[in-house]
Amino acid sequence: MQIKKIKWKSILPGCCSSLKLQDHPETKRLEPPKQCSLQRISLLDIDNPDSQISINDLSSSLVGSNLYSFTLDELRKITNNFSLSNFIGEGGFGAVYKGFINDELRIGLEAQVVAVKVLDLEGSQGHKEWLAEVIFLGQLRHPNLVKLKGYCCENDQRLLVYEYLARGNLDSQLFSRHSITLPWLTRMKIGLEAAKGLAYLHGEYKPVIFRDFKSANILLDADYTAKLSDFGFARDGPGEDKSHITTQHIIGTKGYAAPEYIMTGHLTTMSDVYSFGVVLLELLTGSRSMEKKRPKRDKSLVEWARPFLKDPQKIERVMDPRLEGQYSSQGANVAAMLAYRCLSHHPKSRPTMSTVVQTLEPLINLHDDIPVLSDYSEKKCKEKDDYAMEVEEEKRTKKTSKGHRSRKKGHRHRHHQISYLRSQPVYSDTALYRTKTSSSNSADKQK
């Protein structure tokens, strides 16, 4: 077999400056060759300029991945010239625009909405991160990984074309003022599916370390199906003879990165497990991993919440108050303990992602002990009334002993009680089902 040196032209057809895409308007979909190899091409295989590899191996692994090489003019067309009306958002890579592709753009192309990510040439990411996205997502396939449809590489322009996911990322769904409160079972579903995505990456023949796992990198479709995105910082894991890989630069997001990675630069799959523990904690608490508004010692969500996670009697203190108690107590205890294990300071003490998946799967079916919203509200209102009565009794006692009144305090408590009674209820599939069932039963009895 003849061995040839890798050239960019052979890897990514649209990425060679000497090849003008305008001269090839009928650029076809990249078809797999007749011979296929099961071995995945890694970044290391092409990063080294002295590396040599069989062209057949390269073609079957990357070029046979059903990616489209789009022209810049084509992507301008589907995004209305990257107009503001098509603008979706912006991340570390660059701006993202909504577009629509069909067979009018390219023969045989399935009609669908897509998201076009444009590299910010003055941003913190560049060609290397763009290439990582193409290499990893061009070869990896899993229901909980975002699908890469194609790419564009013209001169210094770098673009990526993904499937469009209607609900954006988990970060905005959890923390945006305008988003609805995610129900408990939806949160556990998202956590489970994100865990499945990571477990798939770690279970590869060549394990992949995501390295920047966070709520902003978990995209959600219309049914809240979770898919991991943004593979620009991903790395191939260590070989069988190594325990870790060492990175020259510490890359990640503050509040999510594992402490041993920050201190030593040693990266393992357990670094991702720690980051997953932070996201799971965000799902439980409804709070960001780092919050400037919290007191100085409590800015880190992990440092604040971790002491409460092991004690079932204290779990309620960290649970998202917007859930208004509508969650499975048993499920919350299991999820909290799992988060505690993932956030261990000792990497070897953390569970594998396959173990995380096995732990979370049963929680989806724990809905019998989720209280109905009305019952919970009545209970809490009674507790508020009892507390208000205690305050009034204390005021009368102080009035008798000290001879003065404390009306402001009593007024403040009454105000809180009114605010609580007016709080907006949280949507819950379980509560809705029970309400409908009880209503139908009452109607039957009346008949």
Which amino acids are annotated as binding site, given as ranges?
117
**Taking CA 211 as the corner, what is the angle to CA 96 and CA 113, rounded to the nearest 5 degrees?**
25
Instruction: Extract the tokens encoding 288.
Output: 């960001």
Q: Give me the DSSP letters along 235-280.
A: EE---TT-S-EE-SS--S-TTTS-HHHHHH-EE-HHHHHHHHHHHH
Q: Please classify residue 82 by burial: count the beta carbons closer than 10 Å to its beta carbon, then call 0-12 exposed, 13-18 middle and 19+ buried.
A: middle
Report the distance separating Cα 104 and Cα 111, nearest Å: 9
Structure tokens at 353: 């992602």
- Distance between CA atoms of 286 and 328, rounded to whole angstroms? 16
CB 150 within 8 A of CB 30: no
Q: Indicate the SS3 state at residue 227.
A: strand
Cα distance between residue 165 and residue 375, in whole Å? 36
Beta partners for residue 228, in sequence order? 145, 218
Classify each residue of 349-365 as buried b or exposed e, where b means 16 or more C-beta atoms within 10 Å of its C-beta: ebbebebbbebbeebee
Q: Which of 45, 212, 230, 272 is catalytic?
A: 212
Q: What is the residue-wise DSSP string for 320-382?
A: -GGGTT-S-HHHHHHHHHHHHHHT-SSGGGSPPHHHHHHHHGGGGG--TTSPPHHHHHHHHHH
SS3 category, 209: strand
Pair of tokens at residue 282: 């965000």
Annotated binding-site members for ATP: 117
CA-based angle 356:360:361, to the nearest 5?
Answer: 115
Q: Tell me the helices (H) and strands (E) count for the chain, helix number first.
A: 15, 14
Residue 429 annotated in active site: no
58, 10 contact by CB (below 8 A): yes
Cα-Cα-Cα-Cα torsion 122, 119, 9, 74, nearest 10 degrees, comes to: -130
Q: Are 132 and 234 in contact (CB under 8 A)?
A: yes
Q: Which residues pair with residue 163 across a beta bridge? A: 114
Q: Enumerate the active-site residues.
A: 212
